[in-house]
Every structure is written in C-alpha cells, then in structure tokens.
Amino acid sequence: MSYFSSTSPGGICEIRWHGRGGQGAITSAKYLAEAAYRAGFRGVTSQPSFGAERRGAPVTASTRLSPEPLRTFCRVERPDVVIVLDETLLDCADATDGLEDGGWLVVNSPCEPGAIAADGRFSVATADATAVAAECGLVVAGAIMVNTAMLGAVARATGLVELTHIEETLRDKFPEAIATRNIEAARAAFERTRL
C-alpha cells in the first residue's frame, strides 16, 4: 500500500472536490473514500458542502484518507489535493484556495498542465474527462457525467489508490452494463492524464 506523503498531521491526506451541481462531485468523493479503504486506508471520510444550490451551481465535497481511523468530519480548508470537475471553477470559485504548496491540482481540462497553473506552486495534472465520458456514453439527461472518469485521473496523478480499487468500487455501485461504461471511462482518463 502506498500512502500519500502528506504535510497534514498524522499522515492524513485531505482532498477537496469542486464541481457543479449534477456533475457528481459529492458521489465521487464517496467513491474515492471507498476505493481508498480497499487500498488499505483505515480512516476514510467524505462529506458534501453545499447550501441551497441547484443543478449547475458550484458545489464542493471533501474526502479525508488516513492510515488510522478518523474522527474529523469538517470541511477541508487546507487540502493536499484539489480535484476540479469543471475548469471554469478555477477562476470563479477559488478552487485552489488553501491548496498546500506542492499539493496536487487535478483538473478536467483538454489543456496541458502548464497552462492551468504555471507558477509552479502545485503539481498539476489534467485529463479531458469530458471527452472521455462522452466517448464512453456517460450522458444523463443530456449532461456529460465526468466524475468517474476523474477518479481515474486522480489515481494516475496522486497514486493514492490503484485503478483496480476504483474499478472494484464502481462494480459495487452500478449494474454491470453501467459499471462497465464507468470503468472504461476511469481507465481511459487514467491513460490520458497529463502530468
């Protein structure tokens, strides 16, 4: 098992997700926690953070991972990893606020990592999860669902979990045909993630 070399106390890795209502950020925060448990983390939590938002409004979620049981359930303020499902949130939602220097910024974007954050404070990974999800047929009510593809990008960038842990989690969450499409998206994003 490979633990994230976190600057947080006790080896806790704090992750904050940024997305828009309906994109699945809150669901993916839970799925990452479950995949991390499969990877050997004994302390895993996830929690949403939203008010009266509606579909398309900015939302955040938090995931915490630790080699030991956790008793912290508050919102993540100083993340080691920030995952952005919609790159427009980098400008309008202060997605990188509090991100630790040297932390990971994983963004759904067709751009190269250097075009996202060129100041060198963060390690940046990009994956065009929108294109991957569309190719895999992950469209619900006309909206492209990028969240499970981004799980593959997170696995590739951070090494917190292996792709097999994500695949096992997705198999448990969906009927076989839907799980297969989500797993294909996670695998494709994993392969196409640019570091």
In a domain, 154, yes or no: yes
Evaluate whether 82 touches 103 at the Cβ level (below 8 Å): yes
Is this model's pTM higher than 0.85 or not?
yes
The verdict on residue 117 lying in a domain is: yes
Where do we find the tokens 């669901």?
27
The Cα 104–Cα 121 span in angstroms is 9
- Whether residue 2 lies inside any domain: the answer is no
Residue 100 has pLDDT above 80, yes or no: yes
Write out the H or E segment, with its range, that includes residue 168.
helix 163-173
- Work out the average pLDDT over 169-179: 97
Question: pLDDT digits over 124-172, tens only?
Answer: 999 999 999 999 999 998 889 999 999 999 999 999 999 999 999 999 9
Residue 175 lies inside a defined structural domain of this protein: yes
Flag whether 186 is in a domain.
yes
Taking the C-alpha atoms of residue 77 and residue 114, their distance in angstroms, rounded to an integer, is: 25
List, as one string, the DSSP characters of 2-37.
-----SSGGG-EEEEEEEETTS-HHHHHHHHHHHHH
**Which residues fall within 8 angstroms of residue 109, CB to CB, at 6 or more apart?**
87, 116, 126, 127, 128
Q: Is residue 3, in this structure, part of any structural domain at all?
A: no
pLDDT category of residue 185 using cuts at 50, 70 and 90: very high
192 pLDDT above the threshold of 50: yes
How many residues are there in the chain? 195
Band of residue 50 on the pLDDT scale cut at 50, 70, 90: low
The radius of gyration computed from the CA coordinates of the chain, to the nearest angstrom, equals 15
Task: Give the pLDDT mean for 43-60.
Answer: 77
The confidence band for 56, taking pLDDT boundaries of 50, 70 and 90, is confident
Other C-beta atoms closer than 10 Å to the C-beta of 25 total 28
Q: Is the pLDDT of residue 7 over 80?
A: no
C-alpha to C-alpha distances, 93 to 89, 104, 112, nearest whole angstrom: 5, 17, 21
pLDDT band for position 1 (cuts 50, 70, 90)? very low
Give the helix/strand (H/E) hosting 153. Answer: helix 147-158
What mean pLDDT value characterizes the chain?
89
- Please report the pLDDT score of residue 136 as a whole number: 97
How many structural domains comprise the chain?
1
Residue 1 in any domain: the answer is no
Question: What is the CB neighbour count within 10 angstroms for residue 162?
Answer: 17
Residue 110 lies in a domain: yes
Task: Look up the CATH number of the domain holding residue 146.
Answer: 3.40.920.10
Query: What's the domain range around 100?
Result: 9-192
